[in-house]
Amino acid sequence: MYIVVEGEDPGYNIYVNGRVIARYESAIEKLALHCGVKPLLEFFSADENSMALLIQEGGGNPDLLKRLPPPQWYRPEEGLRTLEALIAALEADPHQFGSEGPEVLSELHEYQTVLRKAAERGHRWHLAVSWR
Q: Is the pLDDT of residue 65 over 60?
A: no
Give yes or no for residue 36 having a pLDDT over 80. yes
The radius of gyration of the chain's CA atoms, rounded to the nearest angstrom, is 15
3-state percent helix, strand, coil for the chain, nearest multiple of 5 = 60, 10, 35
2-23 b/e (C-beta count within 10 Å ≥ 16 → b):
bbbbeeeebeeebebebebbbe
Q: What is the pLDDT of residues 81-127, one digit of tens each?
A: 999 999 999 999 988 899 999 999 999 999 999 999 999 999 999 99
**At residue 29, does pLDDT exceed 80?**
yes
Q: What is the mean pLDDT of residues 63-85?
A: 84
Q: What is the pLDDT of residue 1?
A: 87
Tell me the one-letter amino acid at 127.
L
Looking at residue 55, its amino acid is I
Task: Give this prediction's pTM.
Answer: 0.83
Find the domain containing 12 and state its range. 2-128
Q: What is the DSSP secondary structure assignment for residue 74, as one 8-state letter?
A: B
- The reported pLDDT for the residue numbered 129 is 79
Q: What is the pLDDT of residue 24?
A: 94
> How many degrees, rounded to 5, is the angle at CA 127 between CA 26 and CA 59?
75
The span from the CA of 74 to the CA of 72, in Å, is 7
- How many independent structural domains does the chain possess? 1
Q: Is the pLDDT of residue 35 over 90?
A: yes
